[in-house]
Amino acid sequence: MSQPQTPVVAVTTTLLPLPRRRRERATRRRFEVKFAPVITPSALSRLATSPWLRTLYHGLWGLVLPALVLWLWFEAATHEWLPAFILPEPAMVRDTFVDLWVSGELWSNLEISLIRVGWGFVGGTLAGLALGIAMGLSKRVEAYLYPSFKAISQIPALGWIPLLIMLVGIGEAMKILVIAKAALVPVTINTQQSIRNIPRSLLEVAQVYQFTPRQLLSKVVIPATVPGVFNGVRYGLTHAWLALVTVEMLASSEGTGFLMVWGRQLGQLDLVLATIVVIGAVGLLFDVTLQQIENRLARWRRFAF
């Protein structure tokens, strides 16, 4: 350790705001090296300039708003600014949530919802894939079916609910049909378009190599369409979940959406708020899972070529 020469400058370097550009960082580092032996804890300052810490620092800002809302909520509860049927206490919502969790009420309702979404989503996706492939491969099928498909897709799943209740009753079939319709539309559109958008050059190369239809499908059509189709499937699941919540709120006596409407009817907003959290969490889980699969598929696709 050499004697301290210019401690003031050295301290300021660690207090400087987080740099934006690499160039700045480089000059700073050169600067630090010069004065490093003095008192600058260079490890600490390097940490302050590390991209990881910067991300964390910026991420913390995202917590400011929720913290503010939470604080206001606690304040409102302790000062009783609003009655409980307008805004229940945070502790009450937490207790309701724990209750739902422990008693198994949450799981039994969630299970019912997930089974409905599963059937509807799988059915809608398979039908959408078939329809999309048929309309994508054949101009004739497209000419016959596309206008009807377009007309049906113009009417949101929500609009079909009263009609389907009259036609097939208020049971599971109606719910699954509504969910399937919600998933079908984006899957069909994306499948059809990604088949249509296969680059001509790829098809020509396949022709030159005299690919059999099977090879054409496995080596060209599927790899070229997977990203687009998967995008449609992802939208399909989002729409299916939205449709499930809607149909359970409107015409059901069990399930997550029903739990919410029931809470509202009882005037228990704590139950409503707890269910909103569950609905948001499931939606997020679906999205993240499919995104992970999508990333993996994209990697696989790169290997395919």
Partner 1 sequence: MTQISQGRRWLTRDLRGWVLPLAILALWYTVTTWGIANTHILAPPQAVWLEGYQQLASGAFLLDLAASLSRDLAGLLLGGSVGFLLGLLMGVSRWTERLVAPSFNALKQIAIFAWIPLISAWFGMGESGKVVFIALASFYPMVINVFEGVRGVNRDYMEVARVYQFSHWQRLTRVILPAATPQILTGIHLALIYAWLATIGAEYFLKSGYGVGNAMIDGREHFNMGSVLFGVLVVGLIGASINWIASRLEQRLLRWR
Q: Does 158 bind partner 1 (CB under 8 A)?
A: yes
HSE value, Cβ hemisphere, 13 Å, CA-based, for 17: 3
* Alpha carbons 235 and 249: distance in angstroms, whole number: 21
| 245 touching partner 1, by CB under 8 A | yes
| List 18, 122, 249, 297, residue binding partner 1 (CB under 8 A) | 249
> In the window 81-110, what residues touch partner 1 (CB under 8 A)?
85-86
Residues 6+ apart with CB under 8 A from 28: 13, 16, 19, 49
Q: Give the range of 95-103, 160-168, 185-193, 218-226 binding partner 1 by CB under 8 A.
A: 160-168
Residue in 165, 202, 226, 297 binding partner 1, rule: CB under 8 A: 165
* Binding-site size, partner 1 (CB under 8 A): 52
DSSP percent split of the chain into helix, strand, coil, nearest 5: 80, 0, 20
Q: How far is the CB of 147 from partner 1 (least distance, A)?
A: 3
**Does residue 272 belong to the site contacting partner 1 (CB under 8 A)?**
yes
Q: Count each helix (H run) and each strand (E run) in the chain, helices first.
A: 15, 0
The DSSP letter of residue 182 is H
Q: Does 195 bind partner 1 (CB under 8 A)?
A: no
Backbone angles phi, psi at 63, to 5 degrees: -85, -10
- Say which DSSP state 269 is in: H
Q: What residue ranges bind partner 1 (CB under 8 A)?
A: 58-59, 61-66, 85-86, 140, 143-148, 151, 154-156, 158-163, 165-167, 241-242, 245-246, 249-250, 257, 260-261, 263-264, 269, 272-273, 275-276, 279-281, 283-284, 287
